[in-house]
Each structure stands twice: as structure tokens, then as C-alpha cells.
Copies of this chain bind each other. A is one copy, B any other.
Amino acid sequence: MASRTLAQAITLALDNALGRSDDIIVLGEDVGRTGGVFRITDGLRAKHGAHRVVDTPLAESGIVGTALGLAVAGMRPVVELQFMGFSYPAFDQIISHVARMRHRTRHRFTVPMVIRIPYGGGIGAAEHHSESTETIYAHIPGLKVVVPSRPADAAGMLRAAIEDPDPVIFLEPIRMYRSVKEEVPDDSPPARLDTSTVERLGSDITLVSWGAMMKETREAAEKLAASGVSAEVVDLRCLAPMNVDTLAASVRKTGRAVVIHEAPRSAGLGAEVIASLQEHCAYDLEAPVARVTGWDTVIPLKMAEHHYLPSTERIVTTAERVLAS
């Protein structure tokens, strides 16, 4: 056990997985020699060999499609795509093949693959480097889509994803890579990939989010507490297939909820959260569930990014509005 960042926890999980089974192969652009653009795979090539931590040509569809072949042959590829905005060239492979091979072949051929995708804004990067289109992947039957927001959970979730017999889109919140530290075991057991977590107990309102926006969500709960509002905080974690049992239980108790995400609002995953809550506990709701989200615009570049990303303030204000209604 040591105190580790989210980035370190992911590196550790990859390292352990590579050590555990020869079937694991890590591949992607720049993952080898230079350890990836975020240095998540740093040191793994030196330790496990260039044939297991592979620098591929610059072609995302090629990476995912080739990895599918590896997986069908029984390997367990762990793909890194550099940014969510560069996952789109691989979209056809993901939706048309990765997600469907098991169904197409009635379990004869399967795709035990992890696709790691750093996502989200707030790092002042160039265009296309701040995407948060998780809902697109969450809509595709046959994919599991998960996102950690804490180092220890990240290690356990990645282990579970790698050991999962089905494809997992593993989203990594870029701006959290090095911003939080917590105790992470040297070898985490696999975490559940089909549950949400109540992070903070509360009785007045439920704040639900995932990934990078958990930071502002937690801060909002703190601020609300300071003004006497008891907010329960739920980390959705597993975006698809979505399991809202935990969340619905929370909302049944608090009667009010705000869902927070940085993706554009329209047709974003917050809509699914609202629709599901409505199906599970409409009659327990004392006010409509509110959304605090990115706008239906392109996320601006560095200098104007803060106008786009939901702030702690917006969450607090929205929660107060929901409480007042």
C-alpha cells in the first residue's frame, strides 16, 4: 500500500496485469519508448518487453481492428487511444466489430479487450483534446463503459476491465491524473464494473456525476454542507450498461437530484440518468432532476474553456434552485 495518483494507480494496474499473464499486450501510439503522451505506460516496455508494450503506427482504426484479431485469438489486448477526440477514427471498428463479435458468433468468438481513453477538458489543450463523448459509447450495445474518479478504484476497475471477458471502454479523466492521491494497494483486487458508489451520505439532495466532474461535484457538496444542505454524492462509475439501483435508492431517500457532466447537454448521458430515475422512482421525486452540463457547443480552447466546463458554483446554484422548488 502506498499513496498514489490516479495515473500511478493505472500504471500499476497495467504493470501487474502484464506480470500476471502473458496474454496481456499493451498497444497504442507512443505507449512504448516514451510511455504514452500521459506517461501512463512509462517503464512498462523496458520491464515487459517491446513485444508486449507495442508502439503502433499512427492509425486508431488499425490499432483497434488489429487488437480485435489479437483478442479473438485469445490474447488480451489493452489499447491506449491518446485522446477521446482521436477515438473517432476507430469508431467503426468499435461499434461494428468490437461490440458485436460475441453476439454475431453466439459466444464462439469474443473480444476481451480494454480500450483506454483519456478524456475531458480543463487542461488547456489544443482543439479535439478535450472531448467528453461518453454517451456515444454508452449507447452502443455490447460495450461496457466505465470511468474511475479515484486512484484506488481506478486500479481495481482497470484490473476488472482487463479480466472481463467482454470489451470495456475505460475512460480516464485527464485532469484528475495527478490531482488526487490516495492509498492504493500494490495489487488491487478487481472492482465491480456494474455498480455505482455512494461517496458521501446526505439527506436533502443527490448529486450524481462521474469521472473528472466528480471533483466539482464533491466541492459542491462541501459548499452546500457549509450552508446547511446535506447533499448525497453518487459516483456513477459504470456508465454502460447502466445500473441505477444505487442512485435510485439515494434519490428515493433525498427526493431531489442534480446530474453533472461536462459533455454537451443535449442527448448527453445526463438525459439517460434522468430518464432512468423517472422510470425507477418518479413518484419519489419532489422536484425535477436538474442537469449541470457543458453547453451544446464545441468546447472552447484554453482561454475560454472555463466558460464551458461546469463549475462548482453552477452545481451549487442549481442544487439550491432544485431545493427551492
Contacts and interface: CB of A to CB of B under 8 A. Distances in A.
A49 interface: no
Interface stretch (A201-209, A223-231, A269-277): A269-277
Nearest to A285: B282
A266 B297 contact: no
What band does the interface of chain A fall in when counting residues whose beta carbon is under 8 Å from B?
35 or more
A91 interface: yes
Given A141-B295, A267-B267, 9 more contacts: A89-B92, A135-B267, A138-B267, A139-B267, A139-B268, A267-B271, A271-B272, A271-B275, A274-B275
29 contacts: A85-B96, A88-B91, A88-B96, A89-B92, A96-B128, A99-B298, A100-B127, A103-B297, A133-B139, A135-B135, A135-B267, A139-B264, A139-B266, A141-B296, A141-B297, A142-B298, A240-B267, A242-B266, A267-B269, A267-B271, A270-B275, A271-B271, A271-B272, A271-B274, A274-B274, A274-B275, A275-B275, A278-B288, A279-B291
Interface of A: 85, 88-89, 91-92, 95-96, 99-100, 103-104, 127-128, 133, 135-136, 138-142, 240-242, 263-264, 266-272, 274-276, 278-279, 282, 287-291, 295-298
